[in-house]
């Protein structure tokens, strides 16, 4: 299945921001972590309750887990 570039780039960016937020929390950079988390959530919310949600969510989880595995 070929993804629309916008969906793929949003999913990848949201995953990167999610993982960055986790790293910032571990490093006790809590204000930065919160801001980063909200950026990720904004991208996620953009696709919720739309026809792009299933594809976005699949890609988001793939990118998120891929990056976590390499940490």
Question: Per residue in 1-55, pLDDT tens?
Answer: 445 679 999 999 999 999 999 999 999 999 999 999 999 999 999 999 999 999 9
How is residue 1 annotated by DSSP? Answer: -
Indicate the helix (H) or strand (E) that contains 27: none
More confident residue, 68 or 31: 31
Quote the pTM value.
0.85
Total domain count, the chain = 1
Domain with 11 in it: 5-70
> What does the CA dihedral 32, 38, 39, 41 come to, rounded to 10 degrees?
140
Helices (H), the chain: 5-26, 30-47, 53-70
């Amino acid at each position: 299945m070929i993804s629309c570039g916008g969906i793929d780039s949003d999913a990848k960016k949201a995953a990167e921001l999610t993982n960055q937020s986790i790293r910032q929390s571990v490093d006790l950079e809590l204000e930065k972590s919160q801001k980063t988390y909200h950026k990720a959530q904004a991208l996620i919310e953009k696709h919720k309750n739309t026809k792009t949600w299933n594809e976005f969510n699949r890609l988001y989880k793939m990118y998120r887990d891929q990056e976590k595995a390499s940490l």
